[in-house]
Amino acid sequence: MERIKVLVSGACGRMGREVIKAVVKDEGLQLVAAVDKINVGKDIGIIAGLETLGVTIGDDLNERIVKDKPQVMVDFTTPALVMENLRTGLKAGVHVVVGTTGISPADLREIEELCDNYQTNALVAPNFAIGALLMMRCAAISAQYFSQVEIIELHHDQKLDAPSGTSIKTAEMILANRVGPSHPEIGEEKIKGARGGEIDGIRLHSVRLPGLIAHQEVIFGSEGQTLTIRHDSLSRESFMPGVILGIKKVIENQGLTYGLDHFLFKD
Ligand code: NAD
């Protein structure tokens, strides 16, 4: 069986290094290129804590695509860079798997167009942890029975954006299923922001602390009861089964897929 040729963009980052290890470990995949702006010229195996892999880190995405001919590009870079990388990959005929956050609805429309125009596929996944996807699904089901809910997301202190993409997607899924309106807020906010941010009556709270990875709690409340649904990513390994599944599925799923849940669940 031909192995799928993979390029990792943002290869030296916290997620990128984990993706390198997961790709190298998988018999169906072949790591052909690594791109980052740091450690250029070094072997990515050493940077990822493995043995030498014979794949040198490059800083020019287009050049690596032309030379190494990847079939799939995995991007874990920064919100400021991700769309440029996507354009480069999709226009060059490479399918993309994107974990980088900060992709707007307008960006999604552009990605869809690029996929159509260049006959390439894209998976944009706000969260690759399978447990997190189940947490979101359980929240969407629970929204049919509880109209009051708040979301608390907790992440490491290096995270660049707030609230997290996962918490926004969770709120959207809850809103799509919610039975009644949320109660109007009473009481005054003595310190601005004390009640968190808000999407259509759903309060979102972002905690940023060293020691955390990625965690989320969805708390529903009604008369005399609460229901708490919580997911914890305790290490970045938690995202890897989802990333590997994404690489294998993106090749056969035409156009843009938004959310790994489309590759996981039947309905
Ligand atoms: P990180 O800062 O550790 O890694 C980013 C990497 O991108 C770095 O190695 C950096 O050098 C590289 N980079 C930055 N600018 C570059 C440029 N101009 N050219 C080439 N490389 C460049 O960040 P991280 O913790 O690995 O997270 C990366 C992204 O993934 C973030 O947006 C984060 O929110 C997201 N994330 C998504 C999931 C998910 O499941 N979808 C999970 C974790 C993190």
157 burial level (CB within 10 Å; 0-12, 13-18, 19+): exposed
12 CB under 6 A from ligand 1?
A: yes
- Distance between Cα 40 and ligand 1 center (Å): 16
Query: Which pLDDT score is estimated for 1?
Result: 77
- C-beta atoms surrounding 46 within 10 Å: 13
- Phi then psi for residue 13, to 5 deg, are -75, 180
Active-site residue identified among 69, 156, 159, 248: 159
The residue among 175, 217, 13 whose CA lies nearest residue 101 is 13
User: What is the average pLDDT across 95-120?
Assistant: 96
CB 73 within 8 A of CB 51: no
- Global confidence as pTM: 0.89
| Dihedral sign from CA coordinates of 240, 243, 247, 249 | positive
Active-site residue identified among 155, 205, 215, 249: 155
User: What is the average pLDDT across 8-27?
Assistant: 98
154 burial level (CB within 10 Å; 0-12, 13-18, 19+): buried
The structural domains of the chain, with segments of one domain joined by +, span 4-124+236-264, 130-233
The residue among 135, 136, 96 whose CA lies nearest residue 10 is 96
Query: Which pLDDT score is estimated for 111?
Result: 98
Question: Per the structure block, which two tokens stand in for 50?
Answer: 């493995």
37 CB under 6 A from ligand 1?
A: yes
Q: Is the pLDDT of residue 122 over 90?
A: yes
Model confidence at 266, pLDDT cuts 50, 70, 90, reads confident
- Distance between Cα 107 and ligand 1 center (Å): 18
| Dihedral sign from CA coordinates of 238, 213, 108, 90 | negative
All residues at 6 or more sequence positions from 48 whose CB lies less than 8 Å from its CB, including other chains: 11, 17, 20, 21, 24
Query: Which run of H or of E encompasses 57?
Result: strand 57-58
Is domain 130-233 annotated with CATH 3.40.50.970? no
225 burial level (CB within 10 Å; 0-12, 13-18, 19+): exposed
Bond preceding residue 163 cis, omega within 30 of 0 = yes
pLDDT in tens, 147-175: 899 999 999 999 988 999 899 989 999 99
Q: Which CATH class is domain 4-124+236-264?
A: alpha beta
pLDDT in tens, 36-75: 999 999 999 999 999 999 999 999 999 999 999 999 999 9
Query: Which pLDDT score is estimated for 21?
Result: 98
pLDDT in tens, 178-204: 987 777 788 899 999 999 999 999 999
Spatial distance between the Cα atoms of 73 and 79, rounded to a whole number of angstroms: 16
Active site residue 155: yes
pLDDT in tens, 197-214: 999 999 999 999 999 999
Q: Is the pLDDT of residue 138 over 80?
A: yes
Q: Regarding beta strands 214-222 and 148-155, do their DSSP bridges make them parallel or antiparallel, or are they unpaired?
A: antiparallel
The residue type at 241:
P
Helix, coil or strand: residue 98:
strand
